Amino acid sequence: MSERRKPRRSAGFTLPRALPWPSFLSRVWPGTLIVCWTALTTFVITIPTWATLGAVAAVLVAATALLRVPAGALPRPPVWLWSGFIGGCAGAWLGEGVEVFLRASSVALIVVWGSSLLLWAVPTAAMAGALRVFLAPLRLVGAPVDEWALIMGEALRGMPMLRDQAGAVMDTVRLRLGDEMASMSMRGYARLAIDVVTASLSAASRGAAETGRAMSMRGGLRPPVGERVSLGWRDLVAALVCAAAVSAIVAAKILL
């Protein structure tokens, strides 16, 4: 008997979800991670030098090792993305802007990488609770902070459902069109993309309506529970690493 071949993982981007095992970063208060990543992202976008990118990339490499991200969770860029990158490099080389193109691509990669690490480390419910802590001062002006936090939490929980709906719609399109997709024009691909997005949003809206009715029958959303912010030595380590990266970026900006 021939050996059973393992199914090949298709190329594409999946929405990161919190990893099921504990790690150093998962024990850090989510608000600390959000503040640190916001600071690093701000410097990456405002000072996109190679020194900045290198410092932030070093922090992300260490965070990836601490999270123990499995290879199966990493996205596999599709062929069209590689083709676009190679074509962009060729066009930038002809226009003498290869460095600018590579630096812009590195900025995009680092932002996506760090955001994915944040989603891998922090559950959606904990992230919504941390955002509610940050928005707490707005209660002084009468802002419905608790309602905003509940809505953000439900929206974050619904993102995987939207992604699954889009995947199901795309699989249906592939089955119906078959080999016709390879011979479609750019206008045809644009129309197909609009149809897929519309169908995905429609299916997700129906699912959200059903979920809303089920939650209403159960008494609605749970009242928000005051989250106790507990900071420890892990938060101090994360803050010190972020401060060291920011100091290196500022020093490189001044000296170089």
User: Would you state the pLDDT for residue 1?
Assistant: 45
- Please report, in angstroms and rounded to a whole number, the separation of the first and last CA atoms in the chain: 64
Rg (CA), the chain: 22
Number of other CB atoms surrounding residue 132 within 10 Å:
20
pTM of the model: 0.74
Q: Across the strands, what pairs with 76? A: 12
Token pair belonging to 158: 């619904």
Please tell me the number of Cα atoms within 13 Å of 26 on its side-chain side.
Answer: 19
> Nearest 5 degrees, angle CA 108-CA 189-CA 162?
60
Q: Across the strands, what pairs with 12? A: 76
2 pLDDT exceeds 50? no
User: Would you state the pLDDT for residue 146?
Assistant: 78
User: Would you state the pLDDT for residue 225?
Assistant: 56
Number of other CB atoms surrounding residue 193 within 10 Å:
10
- pLDDT band for position 185 (cuts 50, 70, 90): confident
